[in-house]
């Protein structure tokens, strides 16, 4: 099944578990934050109308590699606000990752998403071999994505999550 849309809910584990129980037919994907053990995320890739109230609803633009949103995945979520010029620069960077030699070491795949409500809001979900690879790249001068901010801030909002069984 081709994925076209992704909806996200964030919150404490009790809230996330309540959504899972209320909508068992959705087969949500559950993640815990690696930055804060109290934060959890639920992904809905069912393609059905969202049941989340978060407003975090995105359309797929492009992917690289086999998108792994499943068990044992280490995900980096990078929220960015991009004007039209920045969108072109970011697209060029992502296109360069088609060449494995230009891709960050340990990056398995990515999904580039655009907000359904605000077309200048982007979300990049990167799947990493392990947390060490992500941290090394994220702090490297080779990380060209550091030039993009979010909502008027100089830096993007970057969060890390790991899948959790339920």
CA 36 from chain center: how many Å? 17
Radius of gyration of the chain (CA): 15
Domain boundaries, the chain: 5-164
Its pTM surpasses 0.85: yes
The domain 5-164 having CATH identifier 3.10.150.10: the answer here is: no
Q: What is the DSSP letter of 153?
A: B
Contact 28, 148 (CB under 8 A): no
Each of the 166 residues of the chain gets a pLDDT tens digit; together they read 457 899 999 999 999 999 999 999 998 999 999 999 999 999 999 889 999 999 999 999 999 987 666 667 789 999 999 999 999 999 999 999 999 999 999 999 999 999 999 999 999 999 999 899 999 999 999 999 999 999 999 999 999 999 888 7
């Amino acid at each position: 099944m081709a994925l076209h849309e992704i909806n996200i809910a964030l919150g404490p584990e009790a809230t996330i578990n309540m959504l899972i129980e209320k909508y068992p037919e959705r087969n949500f994907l559950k993640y815990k934050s690696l930055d804060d053990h109290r934060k959890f995320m639920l992904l809905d890739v069912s393609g059905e109308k969202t049941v989340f109230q978060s407003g975090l609803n995105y359309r797929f633009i492009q992917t690289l590699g086999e998108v792994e949103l499943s068990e044992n995945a280490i995900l980096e979520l990078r929220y960015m606000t991009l004007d039209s010029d920045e969108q072109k620069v970011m697209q060029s960077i992502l296109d360069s990752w088609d060449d494995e030699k230009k891709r960050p070491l340990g990056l398995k795949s990515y999904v580039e998403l655009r907000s359904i409500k605000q077309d200048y809001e982007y979300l990049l979900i990167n799947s990493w071999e392990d947390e060490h690879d992500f941290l090394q790249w994220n702090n490297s001068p080779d990380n060209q994505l550091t030039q993009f901010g979010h909502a008027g801030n100089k830096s993007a909002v970057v969060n890390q999550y790991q899948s959790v069984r339920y």
